[in-house]
């Protein structure tokens, strides 16, 4: 397994270029190839769970000279999410993408995005992280504008402008760190920062990183692109963008930089907490008034990422555990919600909640999985969203942030309100006259929705079985900066 | 189509030298300044010069865009294959070939091959992008003028 | 020091261009200027006064070479970042052309269907 670690990037990259060689008439074959590649990746990740952390030196160059790949429990967690959501969105898109032309280019861009995200997650070199980040985001720019209609192009352009600014800021941060310490390896940087203490240039770089990665992860002062970009993409891509891209490129990168490279300080703690609280409150307040189904979901993504950010910024073990758990749960239920909105659009041809109603009679599978996801996101007990929100709130109370805990509960209530609105207008109520003849979505799409719904239920209930091997060691990895440095530089303490 | 006779003749003399210079930069990239990207860009500039001087029909004759598209995929796959070849000796991207003697062409193992693969990607990709942007930009700019021009629209469809 | 300030000034110019201009193409130029400013900064990091190019030729003393030559790593980083910004630039230009095709204008204040 250790030897095959670079294949997490190499397989999707190879498939992305390979399938472009096929003519349009072989689309079915291309679908088979892409699906097999994703299944292989998923099997590889499952084999990686519970594996001892290791580092992999590309081309046998010993760090800090060469590029190092690092496998620890947090990157395994993110890889798992990327490949589960990736595989299911891919299966969903086989039918869904028939309303667009040139499916082969779509799959190629999709695989490029998967390659970029996997690269961000597995790399141990900060410039390499930037390169993979760019691969993932450039392909996502193209995918957001894939429909080539007025709204899609406008959203894509806005996303592109803000995305380029964020990449520039990240590159400037990397340049400043390199100028100060003369190395790009993250563990080596961490070592130098530990030895020299946090001086002004490190603080400047950290500010640039939080700004840049915050833009990629749509924290509130930097959120303007997300409510446009995520609804404009095709539904499987919205699921990928909201489900994993903002986590891999935003939250994960912030965790790595803040915890492992620079080290958690008091001021970072305050900044991350306030970013989280702002995102939580502003996101949900903007979401309540929306009538476009996907736009409402996009605003909820901002708000839920706020929860994760509060947990990360809290920097207590329980808070981080809650944040990682919520990150995982959000990947499942938000992907499910976006896929449901896509299914509704596929059948009814509209995204406006006012034009829907009574879909439960016509589309039972979609409606029931949509209900499960809504219950999860608003934190109703048996589903997964409840447990992770509970963990975050308990952590806040333990750390004596009573006001923020109260705000968190209030935001959860507002989320519930807004999803009751969704349920009331789309699933229940009267069926409008012109939607009398709609049908349930095709079997493959329905199956994907059911699998996600089951995952939403099980990831809450089966926590005692997987919590230890997946999440709790990820939490230990996040906290333990020394262990990360030793893992890469292999120095005996 | 194209520019005046003087420009055409001068280009005919110069173009071979430009290509030679590009290839030199690619092949000796591991010994001096240069490499796949720089050399590839110089080669692409040669193609763009042909296109500016002789008109786009001639340039596309030399390199059709669907061929270029095919080549860019092949180049990317070749680069990936070079990376995967490192597994012969155990590690991704491992430079397993004998490194040869310092300051000679054969002195860096796999690096020249990687440079060639990169230059194939760069030449075909940048040339395709240039041609498509020229076509598409013209089409957008003078939409009214070209809307009824069947031949022009057909040409775009063929090249896309 | 002055040259770092000039580099920072270039960065701010790019940012100003990005924020204040309403023309799509001017915004793209602003992004390009931002990229160039950061690339220039990266090159300046590796530079030392009186340095020689980081290319080793036959017959050079390796000891003095490593003391005299400028740092080659930032140059490699700049090359990578140029390729990336080239990709982003092409993406932007093609999207801007498509936008012009749909809206018949390059003015961002008129391209505003997405609100709220």
- Confidence band, pLDDT 50/70/90 cuts, at residue B137: low
Q: pLDDT tens-digit profile of A433-471?
A: 777 778 888 899 999 999 999 999 888 888 888 888 888
Q: Is the bond preceding residue A385 a cis peptide, omega within 30 degrees?
A: no
Residues spanned by the domain of C86: 20-47+65-109
Question: Is residue C37 included in any domain, yes or no?
Answer: yes
> CA-to-CA distance for A184 and B88, rounded, in angstroms?
28
10 Å Cβ neighbour count for A490?
Answer: 12
Q: What would the mean pLDDT of A197-223 be, rounded to a whole number?
A: 91
ipTM: 0.95
Considering chain A, what is the average pLDDT of its residues?
90
Task: With respect to residue C36, please indicate whether it lies within any of the assigned structural domains.
Answer: yes
Query: Averaged over B10-38, what is the pLDDT?
Result: 89
Statement: residue B159 has pLDDT above 50: no
> And the tokens for B138?
């013209």
Question: What does the pLDDT average to over A57-77?
Answer: 87
pLDDT value of residue B36:
86
Q: Please determine, for residue B151, whether its predicted confidence score (pLDDT) is greater than 80.
A: no
Lowest mean pLDDT among A261-275, A472-486, B134-148: B134-148
Q: Is the pLDDT of residue A491 over 80?
A: no
How confident is the model over A79-93, as a mean pLDDT?
A: 93
Q: Say whether residue A403 is in contact with chain B using an 8 A CB cutoff.
A: no
Long-range contact pairs involving A136-140 (C-beta distance under 8 Å, separation at least 24):
A136/A112, A136/A245, A136/A248, A136/A249, A137/A163, A137/A167, A137/A216, A137/A245, A137/A249, A138/C84, A138/C87, A138/C88, A138/C91, A139/A109, A139/A110, A139/A112, A139/A113, A140/A113, A140/A237, A140/A241, A140/A245
- Longest CA pairwise span in chain A (Å): 73
- C53 near B CB under 8 A: yes
* N-to-C CA span, chain A: 27
State the average pLDDT over residues A206-219.
92
Q: Is residue C116 part of a domain?
A: no
Count the neighbouring beta carbons within 10 Å of the beta carbon of residue C85: 22
Do residues A118 and A110 make contact, with C-beta atoms less than 8 angstroms apart?
no
- Measured CA to CA, the distance from residue A161 to residue A143 in angstroms comes to 15
When pLDDT is averaged across residues A361-387 and rounded to a whole number, the result is 88
Position C1 in a domain: no
Tally of CB atoms within 10 A around A327: 26
Digit-coded pLDDT (tens) for A329-339: 999 999 999 99
Query: CA end-to-end span of chain B, whole Å?
Result: 22
* Per-residue pLDDT at C116: 52
Residues of C in Cβ contact (< 8 Å) with B33: 53, 55
Contact A10 B80 (CB under 8 A): yes
Which run of H or of E encompasses A68?
A: strand A68-71
Which has more pLDDT, A436 or A219?
A219
The 8-class DSSP code of residue A468 comes to I
Q: Cβ of B87 under 8 Å from any chain C Cβ?
A: no
Residue B116 has pLDDT above 70, yes or no: yes
What pLDDT is stored for residue A148 in this prediction?
Answer: 83
SS3 letters across chain C: CHHHHHHHHHHHHHHHHHHHCCEHHHHHHHHHHHHHHHHHHHHHHHCCCCCECCCCCCCCCHHHHHHHECCCHHHHHHHHHHHHHHHHHHHHHHHHHHHHHHHCCCECCCCCCCCC
Residue A125 phi, psi (nearest 5): -125, 130
Identify the bridge partners of residue C107 per DSSP, sorted by sequence position: C23
Q: In terms of Cα–Cα distance, which of A214, A255, A320, A244 is closest to A484?
A: A255
Question: What is the reported pLDDT for A91?
Answer: 93
What would the mean pLDDT of A86-92 be, rounded to a whole number? Answer: 93
pLDDT at B28 over 90: no
Largest CA distance in chain C: 68
Kindly state the average pLDDT of the residues A63-77.
88
In this structure, what DSSP letter does residue A326 have? H
Residue B148 lies in domain: 5-159
Which chains neighbour C (Cβ–Cβ under 8 Å, 3 or more pairs)? A, B
What is the distance between the alpha carbons of residues A377 and A38, in angstroms, rounded to a whole number? 27
Neighboring chain C residues of A175 at a CB cutoff of 8 Å: 38, 41-42, 45, 74, 77
Q: What percent of chain A has pLDDT over 70?
A: 99
pLDDT at B142: 52
Chain A contact set for B92 (CB, 8 A): 6, 10, 56, 58-59
> Once rounded to an integer, what is the mean pLDDT over residues B33-45?
89
Cis ω before A64 (30° cut-off from 0): yes
Q: Residue B141's pLDDT band (boundaries 50, 70, 90)? A: low
- Structural domain total, chain B: 1
Total structural domains in chain C?
1
User: Can you read off the two tokens belonging to residue A139?
Assistant: 């392909």
* C93 contacts in chain B (CB < 8 Å): 133
**What pLDDT score does A214 carry?**
92
Residue by residue, pLDDT tens for chain C (116 residues) are: 888 999 999 999 999 999 998 899 999 999 999 999 999 999 988 888 888 888 888 778 888 888 888 888 898 899 999 999 999 999 999 898 888 888 888 888 888 777 65
Tokens of A238: 């919205």
Q: Does A160 touch chain C (CB under 8 A)?
A: yes
Domains of chain A, residue spans: 282-461
Residue A493: the pLDDT is 45
At A121 the pLDDT is 93
User: Are residues A157 and C38, on separate chains, in Cβ contact within 8 Å?
Assistant: no
Cα–Cα distance measured from residue A240 to residue A82, given in angstroms and rounded to the nearest whole number: 8
């Amino acid at each position: 397994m250790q030897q095959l670690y670079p294949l997490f990037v190499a397989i999707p990259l190879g498939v992305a270029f390979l399938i472009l060689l096929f003519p349009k008439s072989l689309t079915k074959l291309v679908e088979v190839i892409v699906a097999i590649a994703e299944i292989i990746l998923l099997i590889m990740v499952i084999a990686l769970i519970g594996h001892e952390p290791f580092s992999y030196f590309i081309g046998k160059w010993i760090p800090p000279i060469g590029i190092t790949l690092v496998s620890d429990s947090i990157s395994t967690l993110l890889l798992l999410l990327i490949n589960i959501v990736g595989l299911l969105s891919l299966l969903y898109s086989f039918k869904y993408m028939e309303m667009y032309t040139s499916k082969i280019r779509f799959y190629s861009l999709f695989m490029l995005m998967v390659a970029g995200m996997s690269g961000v997650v597995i790399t141990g070199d900060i410039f390499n992280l930037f390169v993979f980040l760019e691969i993932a985001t450039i392909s996502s720019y193209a995918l957001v504008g894939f429909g080539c209609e007025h709204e899609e192009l406008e959203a894509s352009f806005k996303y592109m402008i803000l995305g380029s600014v964020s990449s520039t800021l990240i590159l400037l941060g990397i340049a400043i760190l390199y100028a100060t310490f003369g190395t790009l390896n993250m563990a080596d940087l961490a070592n130098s920062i530990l030895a020299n203490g946090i001086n002004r240039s490190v603080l400047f770089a950290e500010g640039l990183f939080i700004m840049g990665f915050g833009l990629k992860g749509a924290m509130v002062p930097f959120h303007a692109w997300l409510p446009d970009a995520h609804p404009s993409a095709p539904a499987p891509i919205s699921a990928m963008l909201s489900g994993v891209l903002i986590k891999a490129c935003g939250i994960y990168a912030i965790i790595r930089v803040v915890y492992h490279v620079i080290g958690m300080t008091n001021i970072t703690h305050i900044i991350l907490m306030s970013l989280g609280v702002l995102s939580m409150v502003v996101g949900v307040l903007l979401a309540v008034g929306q009538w476009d189904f996907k736009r409402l979901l996009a605003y909820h993504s901002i708000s839920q990422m706020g929860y994760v950010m509060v947990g990360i910024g809290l920097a207590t073990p329980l808070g981080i555990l809650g944040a990682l758990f919520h990150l995982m749960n959000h990947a499942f239920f938000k992907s499910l919600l976006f896929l449901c909105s896509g299914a509704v659009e596929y059948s009814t041809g509209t995204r406006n909640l006012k034009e829907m109603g009574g879909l439960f009679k016509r589309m039972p599978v979609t409606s029931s999985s949509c209900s499960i996801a809504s219950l999860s996101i608003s934190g109703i007990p048996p589903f997964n969203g409840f447990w992770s929100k509970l963990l975050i709130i308990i952590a806040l109370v333990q750390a004596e942030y009573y006001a923020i805990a109260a705000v968190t509960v209030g935001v959860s209530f507002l989320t519930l309100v807004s999803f009751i609105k969704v349920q009331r207008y789309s699933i229940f109520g009267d069926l409008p006259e012109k939607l009398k003849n709609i049908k349930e979505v095709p079997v493959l799409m329905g199956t994907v929705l059911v699998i996600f719904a089951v995952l939403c239920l099980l990831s809450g209930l089966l926590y005692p079985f997987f919590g230890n091997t997946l999440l709790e060691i990820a939490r230990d990895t996040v906290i333990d900066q020394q262990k990360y440095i030793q893992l890469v530089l292999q120095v005996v303490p | 189509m194209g520019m005046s006779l003087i420009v055409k003749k001068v280009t005919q003399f110069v173009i071979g030298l430009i290509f030679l210079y590009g290839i030199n930069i690619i092949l000796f990239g591991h010994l001096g300044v240069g490499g796949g990207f720089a050399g590839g860009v110089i080669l692409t500039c040669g193609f763009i010069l042909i296109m500016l001087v002789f008109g786009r029909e001639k340039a596309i004759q030399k390199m059709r865009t669907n061929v270029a598209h095919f080549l860019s995929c092949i180049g990317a796959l070749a680069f990936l294959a070079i990376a995967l070849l490192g597994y012969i000796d155990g590690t991704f991207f491992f430079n397993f070939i004998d490194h040869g003697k310092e300051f000679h062409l054969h002195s860096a193992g796999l690096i020249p091959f990687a440079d060639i693969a990169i230059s194939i990607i760069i030449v075909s990709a940048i040339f395709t992008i240039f041609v498509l942007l020229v076509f598409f930009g013209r089409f957008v700019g003078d939409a009214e003028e070209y809307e009824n021009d069947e031949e022009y629209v057909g040409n775009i469809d063929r090249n896309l | 020091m002055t040259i770092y300030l000039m580099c920072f000034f270039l960065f701010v110019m790019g940012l100003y261009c990005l924020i204040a201009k309403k023309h799509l193409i001017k915004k793209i130029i602003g992004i390009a200027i931002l990229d160039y400013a950061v690339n220039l900064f990266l090159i300046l990091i590796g530079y030392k006064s009186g340095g020689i190019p980081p290319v080793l030729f036959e017959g050079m003393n390796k000891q003095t070479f490593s003391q005299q030559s400028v740092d080659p790593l930032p140059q490699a980083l700049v090359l990578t970042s140029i390729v990336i910004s080239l990709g982003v630039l092409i993406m932007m230009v093609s999207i801007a052309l498509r936008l012009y095709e749909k809206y018949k204008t390059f003015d961002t204040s008129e391209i505003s269907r997405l609100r709220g």
